[in-house]
């Protein structure tokens, strides 16, 4: 999987972090603290696993980072001792959702919305659910998509409208610039696509469609691991030096998640 998260139905953030650390130590990994004020990264380490455990939100705690991508299926049973667990992940071609509870595999039917069925869920994961997102449509940023849903607007419709508007704007600029704007649009699209998971891919669309059928917390995929990591780095520095001078990008990262110290980092390596 290119992207994945672990969602646990519990309010026990500390218990989730401790359980995650326990399974890491069980496979020979040692904790370290690379952030300001910590002991740093041991120079002997050759492999690393980095993740954050989120504060509880709407009855769920999320694990984001390497564990969900690389060890989700292995760690899921152990972690589900803290609470029912969902593993959601996708790559460019496929999506997958697994459930565990009390150390065992669990049926996904326990997490379905009242009007959803396992048949619809399987169709979503197989890419055959009717009226799904239009192929090739770029996804909205997660925050904007959540805002649209809160106001009764289908994110796919907003995304399509924005794509058409950007096409009109770039088309006009392209004509006026003798083709230069078109090349810039391609470069911008490549750059934006490289900054995170491709939710417009087949796997991304399948996971999005399947997730809409489950009783997940709002903003289940935000903020990203990278956003939390960058904000946490700044917050730890400010904790030690409250009047430290910040670069514009550091200030923006911190302001995006002002309560980031409520997240628990679980960094291990060997």
- pLDDT tier at 2, thresholds 50, 70, 90: confident
- 43 or 134, which is more confident: 43
pLDDT mean over 117-132: 86
- pLDDT above 60: residue 66: yes
According to the model, what pLDDT value does residue 70 have? Answer: 85
The pTM of the full predicted model, rounded to 2 decimals, is 0.77
Instruction: From 6, 198, 217, select the one nearest 96 (Cα to Cα).
Output: 6
> Tens of pLDDT along 89-113?
999 999 999 999 999 999 999 999 9
Name the average pLDDT for the chain: 83
> Tens of pLDDT along 133-178?
443 444 555 555 556 656 666 555 554 555 445 545 545 554 555 5
Give dist(CA 137, CA 122) in Å, integer. 22
User: What contacts 136, CB < 8 A, 6 or more positions away?
Assistant: 200
- pLDDT tier at 195, thresholds 50, 70, 90: low
Measured at the CA of 38, the angle between CA 258 and CA 32, to 5 degrees, comes to 105
- pLDDT above 50: residue 179: no
According to the model, what pLDDT value does residue 173 have? Answer: 52
pLDDT mean over 7-24: 97
pLDDT mean over 120-127: 94
pLDDT > 90 in the chain, percent: 68
Measured over all CA atoms, what is the biggest interatomic distance in the chain, rounded to whole angstroms? Answer: 63
> Tens of pLDDT along 208-247?
999 999 999 998 999 999 999 999 999 999 999 999 999 9
Torsion sign, CA atoms 72, 73, 78, 79: positive
pLDDT > 70 in the chain, percent: 75
Instruction: From 97, 109, 63, select the one nearest 82 (Cα to Cα).
Output: 63
Report the Cα–Cα distance between both ends of the chain, in Å, rounded.
23
**What is the four-CA torsion angle of 16, 94, 118, 218, rounded to 10 degrees?**
50
Beta bridge partners of 268: 31, 49
According to the model, what pLDDT value does residue 200 have? Answer: 87
């Amino acid at each position: 999987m290119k992207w994945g998260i672990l969602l646990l139905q519990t309010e026990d953030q500390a218990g989730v972090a401790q359980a995650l650390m326990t399974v890491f130590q069980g496979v020979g990994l040692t904790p370290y603290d690379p952030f300001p004020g910590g002991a740093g990264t041991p120079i002997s380490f050759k492999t690393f696993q980095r993740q954050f455990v989120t504060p509880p939100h709407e009855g769920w705690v999320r694990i984001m980072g390497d564990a969900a991508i690389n060890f989700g299926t292995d760690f899921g049973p152990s972690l589900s001792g803290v609470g029912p667990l969902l593993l959601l992940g996708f790559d460019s071609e496929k999506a997958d959702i697994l459930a565990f509870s009390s150390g065992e595999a669990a049926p996904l039917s326990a997490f379905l919305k009242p009007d959803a069925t396992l048949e619809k869920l399987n169709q979503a994961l197989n890419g055959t659910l009717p009226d799904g997102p239009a192929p090739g449509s770029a996804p909205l940023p997660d925050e904007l998509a959540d805002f649209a849903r809160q106001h009764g607007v289908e994110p796919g419709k907003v995304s399509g409208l924005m794509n058409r508007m950007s096409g009109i704007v770039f088309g006009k600029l392209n004509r006026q610039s003798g083709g230069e704007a078109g090349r810039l649009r391609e470069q911008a699209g490549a750059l934006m696509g490289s900054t995170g998971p491709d939710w417009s891919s087949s796997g991304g669309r399948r996971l999005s469609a399947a997730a809409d059928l489950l009783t997940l917390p709002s903003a289940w995929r935000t903020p990203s691991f990278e956003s939390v990591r960058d904000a946490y780095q700044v917050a730890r520095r400010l904790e030690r030096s409250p009047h430290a001078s910040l670069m514009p990008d550091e200030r923006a990262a911190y302001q995006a998640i002002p309560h980031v110290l409520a997240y628990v980092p679980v960094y291990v390596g060997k």
